[in-house]
Amino acid sequence: MTRKPYDQFSKQFLEELLSPLGKVEVNKEITDEIRQVDILFSAIPTPQANQQSLGLLGRIAVGISLLEPFRNQPTKTEVRNCLLKVFTVMADSQRKAKREDASLPEDNLARLWILAPSASESLLNSFGAKLDLETWTTGVYFLADSLRTAIVAINQLPVTSETLWLRLLGKGETQRQAVRELLALPQSNLVRQNTLKLITNWRIVSIQQPENLTEDDQELIMNLSQAYQQWEETTKQQARLEERREVVENLLKVRFGSVDEELSRVIDRLLQLPPEEFTPLCIQLSREELLTRFAAT
């Protein structure tokens, strides 16, 4: 298993986002020569809202998909190696269908998505990759139909909520802009929460092994630092709030023996005050006075 930070981050990131939609196999070995697919995704029936919440990534995650994220623009050889992987997966599916005496429509074959931070005109032309602006956005280039492959040039994707989750895998300003958009999402957004947790865990592990970091890895850490710093500050704030809540609860338990539902509502209101104000109130006011003053909506 690779230990390159970007490989780890991109695979864990895509696994985190796609797991609610289907089966995700990381570093999936396929037959022929032993090759590993970065992400082999097999969709399961899922509420459409879940898929739509991932925007363009959710649209890509249909049927059987191979996702190959690159930190830098892939070379022609790397693109060809990706094609070998999807051809092998297709061949496996066809052999399985033959053994089971079942039909396998062309549309049910695997599709390859090469996720590149950029893609030069020279690279795209060498594979005959074309835009399909009638049904797809800019930045998504399709090879010939039978190859069932697309190259996603992340830096060419429009800056919209639909492309956010893919732009987080970009480079430079593309990735930094995506991080700013991620932080602007409501804190209640579950994907935002899980992504920030993933970024934090990955960053902590990475900086513990600085000798293994390349320049690209160091850039990735810098791009994700804003997300880490906000997570760290939010965590500290939550810890301080929990400490204050524990102080108030203990004061009320000492005064009244227990904290019931009515007193719990009082606590939420008391915590809006600084400690030098709520402490004497907890000590001096009676239960009725606290409820009258703080439990009213």
pTM for the full predicted model: 0.71
* Residue 126 to residue 106: CA distance in whole angstroms: 25
* Residue 275: predicted pLDDT: 79
Strands 130-131 and 35-43: unpaired
Tokens 């000590």 sit on residue: 283
How many other C-beta atoms are found inside a 10 Å radius of the C-beta of residue 185?
15
Distance CA 24, CA 206 (A): 23
Q: Cα(63)–Cα(78) distance, rounded to whole angstroms? A: 24
Domain limits, the chain: 5-227, 235-294
Which amino acid is located at 204 in the chain? I
Rounded Cα distance, 119 and 153, in Å: 5
Contacts of 283 (CB under 8 A, 6+ apart): 251, 255
Half-sphere exposure of 198 (CA within 13 A, CB side): 20
Please give the pLDDT value at position 46: 72
pLDDT at 146: 95
Instruction: Say what the pLDDT of residue 2 is.
Output: 45
Query: How confident is the chain (297 residues) per 10-residue block, as mean pLDDT?
Result: 73 90 86 77 78 90 94 95 94 92 91 97 97 96 97 97 94 88 85 80 60 68 68 66 80 81 80 80 82 70
Map the chain to HEC letters.
CCCCHHHHHHHHHHHHHHCCCEEEEEEEEECCCCEEEEEEEEECCCCHHHHHCCHHHHHHCCCEEEEEECCCCCCHHHHHHHHHHHHHHHHHHHHHHHHCCCCCCHHHCCEEEEEECCCCHHHHHHCCCEECCCCCCCCEEECCHHHCEEEEEHHHCCCCHHHHHHHCCCCHHHHHHHHHHHHHCCCCCHHHHHHHHHHHHHHHHHHCCHHHCCHHHHHHHHHHHHHHHHHHHHHHHHHHHHHHHHHHHHHHHHHHCCCCHHHHHHHHHHCCCCHHHHHHHHHHCCHHHHHHHHCCC
The torsion of the CA quartet 98, 100, 101, 107, rounded to 10 degrees, works out to -70
